[in-house]
Amino acid sequence: MTQRVAVYPGSFDPIHHGHLDIIERCCTLFDEVVVAVLANEAKKALFSPEERVAMIRELFPGRTQVRVENFSGLLVEFADQAGARVVVRGLRAVSDFEYEMQMALMNRRLNPRIETVFMMPREDYSYLSSRLVKEVCALGASLDGLVPPSVLARLRERLVPRGAGGEGARR
Ligand SMILES: Nc1ncnc2c1ncn2[C@@H]1O[C@H](COP(=O)(O)OP(=O)(O)OP(=O)(O)O)[C@@H](O)[C@H]1O
Ligand SMILES: [Mg+2]
């Protein structure tokens, strides 16, 4: 039987519960989910591609259904090499739609064998983005329930100056 493989690409700088929600949904539909961490980005990242991959891998111990890899270059080529016919993207709001549609149609043109599939997260996560997570963390506010504890610890190491924020901010 052929394996149904999906690639879920993004910058994941860092991964948050909106991303995890989409990955879990993928696991109910596909035999394998390849989380593809984009390395060659225009936007300046807080974490290196290797750090981002490591943080995601840590969240799926023993879960062979979820593979996490770095990639750069053309997504459709990466998907082909991974044996995937599907690229999954999350849709939070209408504001995501225009960019996503451009990407999906361009990718279809580049490789018509690969379909883009969109998934909606749980409503609670529909406003969540890595950018917002970093902003809120840098300001010392709580991110409980929005990012996994291991990711939160790394975010604080990097963003909250030692001694700043007080005890309340660390909870
Ligand atoms: N809260 C969320 N719910 C569902 N999908 C999401 C959510 N956040 C991001 N995604 C999806 O995850 C994929 C990777 O997105 P990306 O790495 O840009 O995350 P991001 O949170 O949007 O980060 P940034 O703020 O840096 O753009 C995209 O398909 C994006 O639509
Ligand atoms: Mg984004």
| Residue 130 neighbours by CB under 8 Å, 6+ apart | 11, 12, 13, 14, 15, 16
The contacts of residue 120 (CB under 8 Å, 6+ apart) are: 90, 91, 92, 126
Which tens digits make up the pLDDT trace of 118-146? 999 999 999 999 999 999 999 999 999 99
96 close to ligand 1 (CB < 6 Angstrom)? yes
**C-beta 129 within 6 A of ligand 1:** yes
Stated pTM of the model: 0.93
Q: Which amino acid is at 74?
A: L
Measure the CA–CA gap between 153 and 144, rounded to whole angstroms: 11
* CA 127 to ligand 1: nearest atom: 1
Active-site annotation holds for 48: no
How confident is residue 164, by pLDDT bands cut at 50, 70 and 90? low
Q: Which ligand is nearest to the CA of 11?
A: 1
How far apart are the CA of 96 and the centre of ligand 1, in A? Answer: 9
Active site residue 92: yes
Tell which atom from ligand 1 comes closest to the C-alpha of 131: 25
pLDDT tens for each residue of 24-55: 999 999 999 999 999 976 678 999 999 999 99
108 part of the active site: no
Q: Is 134 an annotated catalytic residue?
A: no
